[in-house]
Amino acid sequence: MNIIVVGCGKVGFTLVEQLSMEGHDVTAIDERADRINKVKDEFDVMGIVGNGVSYQVQVDAGITDTDLLIAATNSDEQNLLCCLIAKKTGHCQTIARVRNPVYHKELEFFKNEFGLAMIINPEYATADEISRIFQFPSAIKIAPFANGNIEMLHFRITKDSPLNGEHITNIRTRFNKNILVAAVDRKGEMIIPNGDFSFEEDDTVSIIGKRQEAIDFFNKCGLITNRIHNAMIAGGGKISYYLAKNLLKAGISVTIIEMNRARCEQLTELLPKATIICGDATDETLLEQEGLNRTQGFAALTGVDEENILITLYARKNSNAKIITKINRINFSSVIDELHLDCVVNPRMIMADHIVRHARTFKKSLESDVENLYSLHGGKAEAIEFIIKEHSALTDILLKDLTMKNNILICSIYRNGQIIIPSGQDTIQIGDSVIVVVTGHRISDINEIIAK
């Protein structure tokens, strides 16, 4: 596809990187020449220095032949206007980044009136992901499929886990027959395991199944499945605001620690049911006074990565809370991995995942049936959901008789409200929702899983 990305700050740069890796023809627009030079040096993309709101700049960028324009500048208003001009000029699909909480209740109005394919708010999307994890604390990430009827949950094998050293072949008989191990990240290597595979300490495991089945599985493994009842949040930015709203709505008590007094006063008005503390979240004494040792959920969401890491390490040492750390920079991912921070969220990558998912589904919408896509373990693998709408080389054939490419696993089939953890005797039928995990390949059509 031909894609234009307007705005090449941190978010725009990540989008250009991810979309160019997908094989799209990307053109970047930014008013700063240094940013355009950087993306052109790093990736095989076109770059134009100019204001993305300008009709002429969009024409110069090829808007009339563009399939998708993404406006990701720091200005919500500029992003919306940019998309409106693109829609009127190029008749392409448009995506706008809109972050201001003031507009949150008006997003559906904007989407309809501006004809947007998507409005993405990375802060809200991040808060939503954290909320899901706090309601299932043993997981470090949760990805919903089949309209939420199936979930993929990621968790880490600890030294004392009953799964440590356990063979895959014993999992379904000993722990839960309706759970399938989809992938394992071991020391940076992504593995789609076979029956001979055995777990090791520090493996990050992805399982797939129904929520209740996952709860049963985690209970048998001795892991916590009950949602938290209270949470402490370090930092009072947009993510913290959205997260607190979600948690309070779910009946979870919230304490926010924020240094800026004016922001504290604002949060007190916006979140009257939350406890707002004006103070430094890196202050050990303050954390102890506010009940760090009693809190069940802790999120380090300040605007400084180093502070978040420091706070996380202290909280991990002095509490039994489920801890989530926000990291904006991804340049030192290997170093961060060595710190074993448990659950790390990156707003830029969450936004990029949403947009790449849309681009993949839009690209093949006329020829394939991609319904959903999630990047796993930092892009090392993908979980893709397909809706089967017509007969093909895959349908009505026993799975054991299909010759599939290496490093591909059919994880689940959702049919008529029932979840099927597939065996060799199962078949794929029209109307099924099929979830496939892939590593080492990029596929946009389920028929691409067949080896030729």
Residues 393-409: tens digit of each pLDDT: 889 999 999 888 888 99
Spatial CB neighbours of 313, under 8 Å, sequence gap ≥ 6: 339
Backbone angles phi, psi at 59, to 5 degrees: -65, -45
Instruction: Please tell me the CATH code under which domain 230-320 is placed.
Output: 3.40.50.720
Distance of CA 412 to the CA centre of its chain: 20
Q: What is the CATH number of domain 366-449?
A: 3.30.70.1450
Beta bridge partners of 323: 298
- 164 token code pair: 């440590």
Long-range own/partner contacts, residues 259-267 (CB < 8 A, 24 or more apart): 260/236, 263/236, 264/236, 267/236, 267/240, 267/241
Mean pLDDT of the chain: 89
pLDDT tens digits, residue range 283-337?
Answer: 999 999 999 999 999 999 999 999 999 999 999 999 999 999 999 876 666 666 6
pLDDT band, very low/low/confident/very high, at 1 (cuts 50, 70, 90): confident
> What residue type is assigned to position 353 of the chain?
D
Does residue 245 register a pLDDT over 80?
yes
**Residue 366: band (very low, low, confident or very high) from pLDDT cuts 50, 70, 90:** very low
128-220 carries CATH number 3.40.50.300: no
Q: CA angle 303-309-310, nearest 5°?
A: 105
Section 174-198 average pLDDT: 84
The answer to whether the beta carbons of residues 377 and 343 sit under 8 Å apart is no
Q: Which of 69-78, 343-352, 399-408, 439-448 is predicted least confidently?
A: 439-448
At 176 the pLDDT is: 66
Is residue 15 over pLDDT 60?
yes
- Identify whether the C-beta of residue 236 lies closer than 8 Å to the C-beta of residue 262: no
pLDDT digits (tens, 9 = 90+) for 122-168: 999 999 999 999 988 888 888 888 888 899 999 989 888 888 888 88
- Check residue 198 and report its DSSP letter: B
Same fold, 2-120 and 230-320: yes
Strand partners for 120: 97
Q: Are 12 and 40 in contact (CB under 8 A)?
A: no
Residue with tokens 């990291």: 327
Q: Pick 331 or 58 by higher pLDDT.
A: 58
Which residues are registered as beta bridge partners of 206? 154, 183
- Average pLDDT of the segment spanning 329-346: 73
Confidence of residue 42 (pLDDT cuts 50, 70, 90): very high
Other beta carbons within 10 Å of 395: 15
The better pLDDT of the pair 91, 274 is held by 274
Q: Is the pLDDT of residue 438 over 80?
A: yes
Is 171's pLDDT higher than 90?
no
Which pLDDT score is estimated for 177?
A: 66
Assigned token pair, 251 = 């009946």
Tokens representing residue 338 in the block? 């060595």
In CATH, what number does 2-120 get?
3.40.50.720
How far is 278 from 167, CA to CA, in rounded Å? 50
Q: Where are the domains of the chain?
A: 2-120, 128-220, 230-320, 366-449
Helix (H) or strand (E) run with residue 323 in it: strand 322-326
Average pLDDT score over residue span 63-88: 94
- Lowest model confidence (mean pLDDT) among 27-31, 59-63, 91-95, 354-358: 354-358
One-letter amino acid at 441 equals H
Single pTM value for the model:
0.85
Check residue 333 and give its pLDDT: 63
Task: Could you list the beta-strand ranges (E) of 150-243.
Answer: 150-156, 180-186, 189-191, 204-209, 230-234
